[in-house]
Amino acid sequence: MVHGELKIYPDAKELSVAAAERIAASLQAMLQEKENPTLALTGGKTPEAVYELLGSSPYVDLIDWKRLHILVGDERSVPADSPDSNFGMAWRSLLSKLRMPHNRLHRMRGELDAEQAALLYEQDIQKLFPGPGVPSFDLVLLGMGADGHVASLFPGTEWDEERLVVANRVPSTGASRISMTLRLLNHAEEILFLVAGPKKAEALADVLENPGCTLPAARIQPVKGNLTWMVDRAAAALLRKGV
Ligand code: 6PG
């Protein structure tokens, strides 16, 4: 059972090329419709090659980046210049090449106490989306951990789904994280999951084919938007053929 559309690519390189093309096309379509679309980036290693492509020709000049508001779905509790920072990775691979006004780059303050950073980020988001209702991002990029986590929402952890952004911890290390909640992520207009590598195969099969799966990645089910899983063949290895 697949939530949304599933696209399988031969390897991580082809996945990255296809993802850059898809993201660029979505952003261009949104920029036709809206003055300031919102894009939430994912962290981790998988998207880095995609961001490098988007920060290079032709995409770097093709898209009117300065009109976007760019956010991150989650962050580690580290300063932006830490090699572990998601924003730092996005800055090096993409954001530093876009000459964007800094008030359109929305960084989670990983250098602060995670709960304080989460509250500040909620305030930042609410300034972007004044008024009632759950903010709806135009495009959200997500990755999935081998354990089925999404953003920094890990299996076996608890968080307040009434919130938009929460502090959480990595169960295996106790490391502190800041993360958008499922409620916020699921209100996006468009969600793209980027999943590559054999380590993800077991969780991906569980999420996409086990109706009773309760892993956080399985709980990404857009309220009104669309969801596309862009995966490589290694991550798709345990899916029933012809899914
Ligand atoms: C993070 C991410 C996280 C990531 C998955 C997959 O902070 O690490 O936001 O949710 O998307 O862990 O990470 P990889 O792409 O490195 O496998």
Q: pLDDT by residue (tens digit) across 86-117?
A: 999 999 999 999 999 999 999 999 999 999 99
CA of 32 relative to ligand 1 center, distance in Å? 30
Q: Which two three-digit tokens encode residue 105?
A: 């780059």
Residues 6+ apart with CB under 8 A from 170: 152, 154, 177
The answer to whether the CB of 152 falls within 8 A of the CB of 179 is: yes
Query: Does ligand 1 lie within 6 Å of residue 55's CB atom?
Result: no
The residues near 153 (Cβ < 8 Å, ≥ 6 apart) are 74, 159, 168, 179, 181, 182, 216
* pLDDT reading at 229 higher than 80: yes
84 vs 107: CA distance, rounded Å: 14
Q: Would you say the pTM of this structure is higher than 0.75?
A: yes
Cα(33) to ligand 1 centroid in Å equals: 30
**Average of pLDDT values for 55-84?**
97
| Ligand 1 centroid distance, CA of 143 (Å) | 5
> For position 177, what pLDDT does the model report?
98
Is the separation of the CB atoms in 108 and 178 below 8 Å?
yes
Q: Is the CB of 42 under 6 A from ligand 1?
A: yes
Residue 16 has pLDDT above 50, yes or no: yes
Q: Point out the least confidently predicted range of 2-11, 12-21, 159-168.
A: 2-11
Q: Is ligand 1 within 6 A of the CB of residue 143?
A: yes
Q: What percent of the chain has pLDDT over 90?
A: 97
Q: Tokens 């995670």 label which residue?
A: 114
| CA dist., res. 141 & res. 46, Å (int) | 11
Mean pLDDT of 113-124: 98
Question: What pLDDT, on a 0 to 100 scale, did the predictor assign at position 1?
Answer: 46
- Give distance in angstroms: CA of 44 to centre of ligand 1: 4
Mean pLDDT across 57-61? 96
Is ligand 1 within 6 A of the CB of residue 43? yes
Q: Which atom of ligand 1 is nearest to the CA of 194?
A: 15
199 lines ligand 1 (CB under 6 A): no
pLDDT tier for residue 241 given thresholds of 50, 70 and 90 = low
* pLDDT reading at 62 higher than 60: yes
Tell me the one-letter amino acid at 4.
G
Q: What is the mean pLDDT of residues 234-239?
A: 98
Distance, CA 28 to ligand 1 centroid (Å)?
A: 26
